[in-house]
Chain A
Amino acid sequence: MEITLQSVNVLAKMLSKKEISSVELTNEYLNKIKKKDKHINSYITVTEELALKKAKESDERRFKGTTLGILDGIPYSLKDNIITSGILTTCASRMLKDFIPNYDSTVYERLNNAGAVLLGKNNMDEFAMGSSTVSSHFKITSNPHNTDYVAGGSSGGSAAAVSAGLCGFSLGTDTGGSIRQPASFCGVYGLCPTYGRVSRYGLIPFASSLDRIGPLTRDSKDLSVIMSVISGYDDKDETSSSTDTDFLKKEAIDWSKLKIGVIEEIASKDNSSPGAHKVFSSAIEFFKNKNADIKSYSLKEISNAALTAYYIISSAEASSNLAKYDGLNYGYCCPDYESLKDMYKKTRSIGFGSEVKKRVMLGTYVLSAGYAEKYYIKALEIRNRLTEKLEKIFSECDIILTPAAPLSAYTKKYADKAGVKVYPDDAFASFVNLAGVTALSVPFGHDLNSMPIGIQLIGNKFTEKMLIEIAGGMKDGI
């Protein structure tokens, strides 16, 4: 297998056996990016100089015997809404196209301290709002399996880079499916950790109560390694959890004792594309053959209310989180204005793309006096109800099984015109964020066009390890 497509664990072994140096490995990726990324557009910024500097430092440590851990010397990329000091962090928006922060995100700090090598920042939907990267101010990311198709979103760049072997692994973010859906579209693993598992300090927020940072990888075991470095309580983030998990310790799964829940409203044929449904059915077969217990549940909120609640809550929080972009101190500012209000209006009209403006307006509306009761407060109630119901299901099940998305990747042409038609794509994913639980997208098959389709494993809070183990065991079922 081509070295750039190897898993992180294999690369780490190669580095430790000195079969390859970090500088050599990094150059492999940098060269491949130069050759291939013009067709895929998974990177906004490539940090060549920095990467080679970090790789050299890693090799020096290895020579001295002071290697920092498994990730020391491993090249990776970050979605461009994660703050990196001294490096452009744009959120794929005109608003921040020249923004270079002078402070760090916690995940970047932790990966640095682990010796990992940053290759660059990945393309995404603008401010993480979208599911195809069509709303990126720069370019749309293509699916490496067929470049006429989208890579998904909003972490489309991350998923494509991992799939195409343009990095060892990537970190994306997930607010309503933004790691899992592109992972499914690109045929890679994407973990949406429990809310609070990974510090959000330095994540430029879309929806603060829904956002998570998570890894995208080519192998399920890589997820454990990365989680062991990036997860854990952060003093700077009050919402981060102090639940400690040893991700590197193996946890064996007794398949025959596994209790799997299936949600009627999702499992129904009518709610997925034929390809997605076919792969989902084969997943059910796989678990049946392992003698797992499969039980069906009805969760009627899934049919409508949950998705609506997701759009209301995420847009409301986004409208507040994006209020700071006004051109006054940093970021894009419209050069001609006649007053303060005019500056605000013009800067935000031009600085933001249409999808972002749509959500900000929607969010402002649902929080407004006279409407908040009807929309926002109601959405919170739905969220609470959903969370309670899921808790009940998890009291009887270990995991819930769904297709990772109702469909596989569609064409870029379609994405360009689809507008809000793609909103229901989040139906299988967004309720996970609303309930605060965790989910993993596992590649499990292809549709009739040979485009990848994934399966989603949903677990109760802090059960990522179990999900990763199950995913590992599913490899032989693909």
Chain B
Amino acid sequence: MEYELTVGLEVHAELKTENKIFCNCKNTFGKEPNSVCCPVCTGMPGTLPKLNREVVKLAIQAGSALNCKLNKISCFDRKNYFYPDLPKGYQITQKRVPILTDGYLIIEGEKINIERIHIEEDAGKLTYDEEGNYLPDYNRCGIPLIEIVSKPDIHSAKTAVEYLKKLRLYLIYSGVSDCKMQEGSFRCDVNVSVKPKGTDITTERTEIKNASSFKFIERAINYEYERQISLIEQGIPIKRMTLKIDEETGKTIPMREKESSEDYRYFPEPDLKDLILTDDEIYYFNNFEFLNPDRLIKKYTEDIKLPYKNAIDILNKPVFLRLFEETIPLTANPQGAANIITSELFKNNEASLLPSQLAELSDLVYKEKISSATAKKIISYIKHTKLSANDVAKERNLFQINNTDIITELVLSAIKNNPKACEDYKNGKKSSIGPILGEINRKTGGLVNQRLAVKILEDNINV
């Protein structure tokens, strides 16, 4: 019996606005508990919400980047439930008519459709003391969120994770969110359902919440897939459940406390007007420009011919992407620049070079004026400064020796000094070229052009 996995993803991303969604509190993270809140976001009696229009702007950016349709008129609703992290006893969200619908992302050539994107407010955070008492922190109350709901078009754990990774990039590059999973500004809820392949049987879905990394999500989906298959084969009906991931075992386990099916008694939020977009906002949606991750990947892999992995690695670090983008027009060797970024600059996670410096460095390597190893050295001299790579190379005598006559002289001398190694090489032990090269490098402080040295060595060693 073959089974089909269906995954639906609900992503909550915190918008990086200046202020919270319905009050003037600052939109921040990591402050002392209950130090960034006010009567409005803590829902004190008699207070009223007032929509921060910057939230609409960022939602529009996300929708435009994700190919959505924009609803000129959308509205707010109350989602009612009791929980200590929800001071009003209801969350203001958009249920009936969201601001955006019908978007998509292309994942490995497949179109994954986005059902809707809507605006809502975040709840607070709950922690507990040793006795199990609730310690609510309301700093997070009223942080603006967009919820992005995919259609159930995903049929493998791998695709699910690829979708999440790409969605995250789109949200970062459209300036909507910094999507830091560890800080909670990018949260994924995963709906998993399984049915026998080729049938129309609808089965219940389970929801996996609070995943802390993509790796765990992939494992959990696969585990849940197997778990549901096993239940189906035993004839046990799948119950709608909320699960969390046991990070040690990778298994999904039922969550305590929250009920699996709550009636939220949605009704229109009477304290807020309908969200009617202005002509300027609609124009902004239609003309929004941003660094599109797919277009960048295409440009990097097809035009610049970077290996896919390098392209993705740079894309995943916006600070380096910006550096790379600015370097491309300045260098004849963008591939080299990418290499320098991924092999050297990534180490300290700092874009410590200026585009002009990176371009120059890359060109020097390309023209074989310096070796890659030397490039590394030069970086340590010029980073966080305005110094030119070329000037430093000159001053410190770091240019490569490219003169074939000089190299030939060095080679012949090394051959003469290493008769045994030459013998071994002629007898088939190709690795014996190493020590001979080593002597040349010692004599020249490593500045001899390795490629030429090896070539001339090979040409002469058999003589």
Closest 9 CB pairs of A and B: A323-B89, A367-B265, A208-B270, A209-B270, A204-B45, A204-B46, A369-B263, A83-B46, A103-B39
Q: Which residues of B44-98 are within 8 A (CB) of A?
A: 44-51, 78, 80, 82, 84, 87-90
B270 engages A324 (CB within 8 Å): no
A328 engages B47 (CB within 8 Å): no
Please tell me if B272 contacts chain A, counting CB pairs below 8 Å: yes
Instruction: Determine how close the nearest CB of chain A comes to the CB of B27; give it in whole angstroms.
Output: 19
Stretch in A146-154, A155-163, A236-244, A263-271 with 4+ CB within 8 Å of B: A236-244
Instruction: Determine how close the nearest CB of chain A comes to the CB of B54; give it in whole angstroms.
Output: 16
Q: Which residues of B114-142 are within 8 A (CB) of A?
A: 134, 136
Q: A208-B270, A317-B270, A367-B80 are in contact. Are A201 and B46 (CB under 8 A)?
A: yes
B134 engages A203 (CB within 8 Å): no
Name 8 A/B residue pairs within 8 A (Cβ), A-sorted: A237-B48, A316-B267, A320-B90, A323-B80, A323-B82, A324-B45, A324-B88, A328-B134
Cα distance A367–B272 when bound, in Å? 19
B residues at A contact (CB < 8 Å): 39, 42-51, 78, 80, 82, 84, 87-90, 134, 136, 263, 265-267, 270-273
Chain B residues in 8 Å Cβ range of A317: 267, 270
Chain B residues in 8 Å Cβ range of A204: 45-46
Q: Which residues of A271-326 are within 8 A (CB) of B?
A: 316-317, 319-320, 322-324, 326
Please tell me if A255 contacts chain B, counting CB pairs below 8 Å: no
Chain A residues in 8 Å Cβ range of B43: 324
B48 engages A105 (CB within 8 Å): no
Instruction: Determine how close the nearest CB of chain B comes to the CB of A83; give it in whole angstroms.
Output: 5
B47 engages A99 (CB within 8 Å): no
Please pick, from B42, B49, B89, B267, the residue contacting A326 in the complex, using a CB distance under 8 A. Answer: B89
Please tell me if A340 contacts chain B, counting CB pairs below 8 Å: yes
A323 engages B88 (CB within 8 Å): yes
B90 engages A323 (CB within 8 Å): yes
Please pick, from A103, A202, A236, A316, the residue contacting B50 in the complex, using a CB distance under 8 A. Answer: A236
Instruction: Determine how close the nearest CB of chain B comes to the CB of A345; give it in whole angstroms.
Output: 10
Please pick, from B39, B45, B49, B89, the residue contacting A320 in the complex, using a CB distance under 8 A. Answer: B89
A320 engages B267 (CB within 8 Å): yes
Of chain A, the residue at the smallest CB distance from B257 is A340
Please tell me if A412 contacts chain B, counting CB pairs below 8 Å: no
Cα distance A81–B44 when bound, in Å? 13
Please tell me if A43 contacts chain B, counting CB pairs below 8 Å: no
B49 engages A238 (CB within 8 Å): yes
Chain B residues in 8 Å Cβ range of A239: 48, 270-273
Instruction: Determine how close the nearest CB of chain B comes to the CB of A437; give it in whole angstroms.
Output: 17
Instruction: Determine how close the nearest CB of chain B comes to the CB of A202; give it in whole angstroms.
Output: 5
Q: A238-B273, A317-B270, A364-B265 are in contact. Are A99 and B45 (CB under 8 A)?
A: yes
Chain B residues in 8 Å Cβ range of A91: 45
B88 engages A372 (CB within 8 Å): no
Interface size class of A (residues with CB under 8 A): 35 or more
B45 engages A83 (CB within 8 Å): yes
Chain B residues in 8 Å Cβ range of A329: 42, 87
Cα distance A316–B270 when bound, in Å? 11
Of chain B, the residue at the smallest CB distance from A363 is B265
A238 engages B265 (CB within 8 Å): no
B90 engages A238 (CB within 8 Å): no
Instruction: Determine how close the nearest CB of chain B comes to the CB of A322; give it in whole angstroms.
Output: 8
Chain B residues in 8 Å Cβ range of A105: 46
Chain B residues in 8 Å Cβ range of A316: 267
Chain B residues in 8 Å Cβ range of A444: none
Q: Which residues of A193-217 are within 8 A (CB) of B?
A: 200-205, 207-209
Please tell me if A353 contacts chain B, counting CB pairs below 8 Å: no
Please tell me if A44 contacts chain B, counting CB pairs below 8 Å: no
Chain A residues in 8 Å Cβ range of B82: 323, 326, 344
Chain B residues in 8 Å Cβ range of A236: 48, 50
Could you say which of B43, B44, B78 has the most chain A C-beta atoms within 10 Å of its C-beta?
A: B44
Q: Is the interface of B mostly helix, strand, loop or mixed?
A: loop
Q: Which residues of A160-191 are within 8 A (CB) of B?
A: none
- Excluding A99-B45, A103-B44, A328-B134, 16 further A-B contacts by CB distance (< 8 Å) are A91-B45, A101-B39, A101-B45, A101-B46, A202-B47, A207-B270, A237-B50, A238-B48, A238-B50, A320-B89, A324-B87, A328-B84, A340-B84, A364-B265, A367-B80, A367-B266
Chain B residues in 8 Å Cβ range of A340: 84, 134
Could you say which of A91, A203, A205, A324 has the most chain B C-beta atoms within 10 Å of its C-beta?
A: A324
Cα distance A340–B135 when bound, in Å? 12
Of chain A, the residue at the smallest CB distance from B83 is A340
B50 engages A235 (CB within 8 Å): yes
Cα distance A99–B48 when bound, in Å? 18
Please pick, from B44, B90, B271, the residue contacting A101 in the complex, using a CB distance under 8 A. Answer: B44
Cα distance A96–B45 when bound, in Å? 10
Cα distance A402–B198 when bound, in Å? 68
Q: A320-B90, A323-B90, A367-B267 are in contact. Are A203 and B46 (CB under 8 A)?
A: yes
Instruction: Determine how close the nearest CB of chain A comes to the CB of B260; give it in whole angstroms.
Output: 14
Chain B residues in 8 Å Cβ range of A102: 39
Cα distance A316–B42 when bound, in Å? 22
Please tell me if A368 contacts chain B, counting CB pairs below 8 Å: yes
Please tell me if A428 contacts chain B, counting CB pairs below 8 Å: no
Cα distance A207–B271 when bound, in Å? 10
Please tell me if A462 contacts chain B, counting CB pairs below 8 Å: no
Binary contact readout A39-83 vs B (1 if CB under 8 angstroms, 0 otherwise): 000000000000000000000000000000000000000000111
Instruction: Determine how close the nearest CB of chain B comes to the CB of A63; give it in whole angstroms.
Output: 36
Cα distance A367–B267 when bound, in Å? 8
Of chain B, the residue at the smallest CB distance from A240 is B48
Please tell me if A352 contacts chain B, counting CB pairs below 8 Å: no
Please tell me if A376 contacts chain B, counting CB pairs below 8 Å: yes
Instruction: Determine how close the nearest CB of chain A comes to the CB of B296; give it in whole angstroms.
Output: 40
B272 engages A320 (CB within 8 Å): no
Chain A residues in 8 Å Cβ range of B49: 238
A372 engages B44 (CB within 8 Å): no
Instruction: Determine how close the nearest CB of chain B comes to the CB of A392; give it in whole angstroms.
Output: 24
Cα distance A131–B167 when bound, in Å? 55
B273 engages A368 (CB within 8 Å): no
Binary contact readout A113-148 vs B (1 if CB under 8 angstroms, 0 otherwise): 000000000000000000000000000000000000
Of chain A, the residue at the smallest CB distance from B90 is A320
Chain A residues in 8 Å Cβ range of B273: 238-239
Cα distance A270–B58 when bound, in Å? 59
Instruction: Determine how close the nearest CB of chain B comes to the CB of A341; give it in whole angstroms.
Output: 8
Chain A residues in 8 Å Cβ range of B78: 320
Chain A residues in 8 Å Cβ range of B271: 208, 237-239
Q: Which residues of A425-457 are within 8 A (CB) of B?
A: none
Instruction: Determine how close the nearest CB of chain B comes to the CB of A280; give it in whole angstroms.
Output: 33
Cα distance A202–B266 when bound, in Å? 24
Instruction: Determine how close the nearest CB of chain B comes to the CB of A375; give it in whole angstroms.
Output: 11
Q: A344-B82, A364-B265 are in contact. Are A202 and B46 (CB under 8 A)?
A: yes
Chain A residues in 8 Å Cβ range of B272: 238-239
Q: A323-B80, A323-B82 are in contact. Are A372 and B270 (CB under 8 A)?
A: no
Chain B residues in 8 Å Cβ range of A376: 267
Chain A residues in 8 Å Cβ range of B88: 323-324
Chain B residues in 8 Å Cβ range of A344: 82
Instruction: Determine how close the nearest CB of chain A comes to the CB of B90; give it in whole angstroms.
Output: 5
Binary contact readout A367-392 vs B (1 if CB under 8 angstroms, 0 otherwise): 11100100010000000000000000
Chain B residues in 8 Å Cβ range of A330: 44
Cα distance A218–B39 when bound, in Å? 35
Cα distance A337–B270 when bound, in Å? 34
Cα distance A101–B44 when bound, in Å? 9
Q: Which residues of A323-364 are within 8 A (CB) of B?
A: 323-324, 326, 328-330, 340, 344, 364
B50 engages A320 (CB within 8 Å): no
Chain B residues in 8 Å Cβ range of A82: 46
Chain A residues in 8 Å Cβ range of B44: 101, 103, 330
Instruction: Determine how close the nearest CB of chain A comes to the CB of B51; give it in whole angstroms.
Output: 7
Chain B residues in 8 Å Cβ range of A209: 270
Of chain A, the residue at the smallest CB distance from B42 is A329
Q: A101-B44, A204-B45 are in contact. Are A368 and B89 (CB under 8 A)?
A: no
